[in-house]
């Protein structure tokens, strides 16, 4: 799989460990961002990675920083991105299966390298599920597009479920 990865100054060590892990697993890794600087701004760095995902340059992305929270919030402002900060394997798998997560954010100050590698393996190994999850993804897309989401806006959609 072709994976994009980026980090701000607080996620550099975890990023390096993950790049090595991904390559050992046979993934093609494309790195994004600028050299680390204590004054770097994660919204600008995550934007470059998110745009690459939206353009199809990479299949999925990973961003590392101190907590993972800010980049997830920033990335979710970009149409076509579904980002989440994850700190366990189950959530990584579930996020792909249910919402087709395409940008994983991880906090170097929150989790260690080995847990991060395990989370990344689950994230990359998970497959998107259909059924009710597809219906809900369509509802999310409607919200993203500013379209009113109702029971009739997509065939089979149910309000409030």
CA angle 8, 10, 11 (to 5 degrees): 70
> Catalytic site residues?
65, 98
Residue 130: exposure state from Cβ atoms within 10 A (0-12, 13-18, ≥19): exposed
CA gap 106, 110 in Å, rounded: 8
Beta-bridge mates of residue 83: 103
């Amino acid at each position: 799989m072709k994976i994009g990865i980026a980090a701000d100054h607080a996620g550099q060590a975890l990023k390096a460990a993950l790049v090595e892990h991904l390559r050992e697993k046979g993934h093609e890794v494309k790195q994004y961002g600028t050299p680390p600087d204590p004054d770097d701004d994660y919204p600008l760095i995550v934007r470059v990675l998110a745009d690459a995902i939206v353009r199809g340059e990479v299949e999925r992305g990973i961003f590392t920083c101190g907590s993972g929270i800010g980049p997830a919030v920033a990335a979710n402002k970009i149409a076509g991105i579904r980002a989440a900060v994850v700190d366990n394997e189950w959530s990584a798998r579930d996020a792909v299966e249910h919402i087709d997560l395409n940008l994983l954010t991880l906090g170097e100050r929150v989790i260690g390298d080995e847990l991060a590698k395990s989370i990344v393996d689950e994230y990359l190994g998970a497959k998107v599920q259909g059924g009710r999850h597809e219906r809900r993804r369509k509802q999310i897309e409607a919200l993203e597009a500013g379209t009113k989401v109702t029971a009739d806006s997509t065939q089979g959609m149910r309000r409030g479920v």
